[in-house]
Amino acid sequence: MKTLLIFALSLTIVKASATETQKVIKSKPEKIIVYTQGAQVHRSALVNLVAGQNTLLFSGLENCINTSAIQASGNGNFIIADIQHEIHYPELDKEKLNGDVRYKKLLKHVNDSIQELNYLIEDINLKSDALSTEKNVLLNYGLYKGQSKRDSIASLKDGLSYLREKLFNINSEQLRLKREREKMEAKKAVLNERLVNVSNELANQNNSGEVEKIDYRIIVHVIAEQAVQALVNLNYYISNAGWTPSYDLRAISNEQNVKLTYKAQIHQQSGIDWGNVKLILSTANPNRSYDLPNLSTWILGYTPNVYKNKKVNGDVMPSIAGKSYLEADKEHSSSVLNENAIAQNASDYTTVSENVIETEYEIRLNYNIPSDGKSHIAAILVKNLKTFYRYKAIPKLNNNVYLTAVLPDWEDAIAMAGEVSVYYDGTYVGKTNLSPGGTEDTIQLSLGIDKNIAIKRHKIKEKCTQKVLENDILHQYTFEVLIKNSRTIKIEMDIEDQLPLTYDKSITIERKELSGAKYDDVTGILKWRINVQAKDSKKLILTYQIKAPKTMPVAIN
């Protein structure tokens, strides 16, 4: 009899196990592709499936999952039937049910408000991008750069007036949008804080006194023909993450190439800490629309609004197939500690993948990025940039001689616009901004003032004369620029000066002696490029004449 009872109990346990089809799966991010705005999170889990229908509940996920960009795949003999996203709020005791309903309504209201703010912020960003595009088109127009040979000075004046007016309007509108975006971000921060407070108050309603958090879940419904062990992969897009590039340019001396360090400032506020996770940084922006534009019919005069642009439907989210996670190369994890070895950089563990649209940087090191919204810096790449060192001076303004680094191929090394910190000989020099995609393929960075090279510009009084004509006065001016190189090496130097310009037909300006300078008749700028031998000096002479009416004073410096 006792044996029969044990056998019956065993059958009951087996039957209960066979009917248990819902499995709660705890997982952690294994690989994360971080975009400039947002991130793609990859998770995987090894699951024992029963024959028939299985419900796999991935719990403890991020609080900002885009429900339209969830994908599941896997390895095994099973079918993925459905994917759902669910927000599970803490369960309360029956006597706290009324408070539960009140808090849930408040949470829904706050979440709806945050979503609406996200739409408004995205609209502001799109408007700001359009204004930046318009500004770049204006600044790259050939007339303002003096590239048009057929336009007159009058046309240039009109064009510059138009440019000034448009730039003022664009800058004013961008400033207004920036202020509006900051207000929206501030409101969003307040709502996020309110959301956390309400969630904590809701969890604290539990009689046990334990704080139960809101659980963000993805439910995967699976059908298996027979019991099988399967690897299920999950990937989805989250919004509260991203990265921005920054750069370090380091020059050790004026005899070595500049080193460019490409860094990423990674941030995330998804509610889940990224611990010991592999990162891939992508230059893509999934939030940007890639719909093709269409031209609508162009009709002059009053016409009823019956012509509308057809919108091209398209999925702006990146289509990233679910893949099982590949571990890093084992040689890095099994390396032996060497006390005399030189410390390596994180950039030594980066693999770059490029296509015609975007660039991906795969970092073969595990990173910890907490969900705190703060920037966490990771070094991506270090490159040597071809560098020419040249000195530059504008003695009309001051007597300083600046050492500059000329980088002819900088755009090949920089994929995105970002802030640049400049260092020379271990000393911080300052900051600048680099933005690829412009018309200039060479940049010049100032590395500081070299006290070993002197320059001075002064007026030669005995060669400055005035001659009275019938109705005019002929003014002649002569300046001398003296350069002295106290260094033990030859230097190359750029020097700039200028001649006055006039739009008054009663005034004429004549160039007499320029010492070989190149003259720009649109800007009046004079440029010399000279070589000065070690421990040597060089002299430049600038002479010009101005004929102006007697009643018109002429001020020269």
Say if 112 falls within a structural domain: yes
CA dist 361 and 351 (Å) reads 6
**Residue 412 is part of which domain span?**
386-397+405-449
Distances (CA, A) of 122 to 70, 84, 180, 312: 21, 26, 12, 20
- The one-character DSSP state at 324 is P
Token pair listed for 304: 């009823």
* Domain tally, the chain: 3
CA dist 459 and 478 (Å) reads 6
CA dist 195 and 87 (Å) reads 14
Residue whose token pair is 């509308």:
308
Same domain, 492 and 541: yes
Same domain, 469 and 538: yes
Backbone angles phi, psi at 99, to 5 degrees: -65, -35
CA dist 237 and 243 (Å) reads 15
Domain boundary among 165, 181, 213: 213
Say if 434 falls within a structural domain: yes
556 and 477 in contact (C-beta within 8 Å)?
yes
Same domain, 429 and 481: no
Same domain, 173 and 98: yes
Say if 46 falls within a structural domain: no
Same domain, 207 and 100: yes
Same domain, 442 and 534: no
380 and 262 in contact (C-beta within 8 Å)?
yes
Say if 276 falls within a structural domain: no
What is the length of the chain?
557
Say if 543 falls within a structural domain: yes
3-state secondary structure 362-399: EEEEEEEECCCCCCEEEEEEEEEECCEEEEEECCCCCC
Say if 139 falls within a structural domain: yes
CA dist 58 and 80 (Å) reads 14
- The one-character DSSP state at 95 is G
Say if 313 falls within a structural domain: no
Domain boundary among 170, 186, 213: 213
Q: At what angle do helices 97-139 and 153-203 cross, to 10 degrees?
A: 170
Token pair listed for 461: 């009084």
Same domain, 477 and 461: yes
Domain boundary among 213, 241, 268: 213
CA dist 287 and 33 (Å) reads 14
358 and 281 in contact (C-beta within 8 Å)?
no
Same domain, 129 and 206: yes
pLDDT at 218: 93
Beta strand pairing call for 22-26 and 52-59:
parallel
245 burial via Cβ count (<10 Å: 0-12, 13-18, 19+) = buried
62 and 216 in contact (C-beta within 8 Å)?
yes
Say if 261 falls within a structural domain: no
Token pair listed for 311: 């919108």
Beta strand pairing call for 402-407 and 388-393:
antiparallel
Closest CA to 513 of 490, 488, 540, 531: 540
pLDDT at 258: 85
Token pair listed for 364: 């073969």
Same domain, 135 and 184: yes
In this structure, the number of other CB atoms found within 10 A of the CB of residue 160 comes to: 12
In this structure, the number of other CB atoms found within 10 A of the CB of residue 462 comes to: 7
Same domain, 441 and 482: no
383 and 416 in contact (C-beta within 8 Å)?
no
Same domain, 495 and 465: yes
543 and 463 in contact (C-beta within 8 Å)?
yes
Same domain, 434 and 466: no
CA dist 351 and 330 (Å) reads 15
387 and 406 in contact (C-beta within 8 Å)?
yes
24 and 57 in contact (C-beta within 8 Å)?
yes
Mean pLDDT, each 10-residue run in order, the chain (557 residues):
42 41 87 92 92 92 91 88 86 49 72 84 84 78 59 67 78 85 84 77 55 81 90 92 88 82 90 90 77 76 44 37 35 40 52 62 84 88 85 93 84 75 84 69 81 93 89 92 92 93 88 93 92 94 91 75
CATH code for the domain in which residue 505 is found: 2.60.40
The secondary structure element, H or E, covering residue 32 is: strand 31-34
CA dist 259 and 422 (Å) reads 10
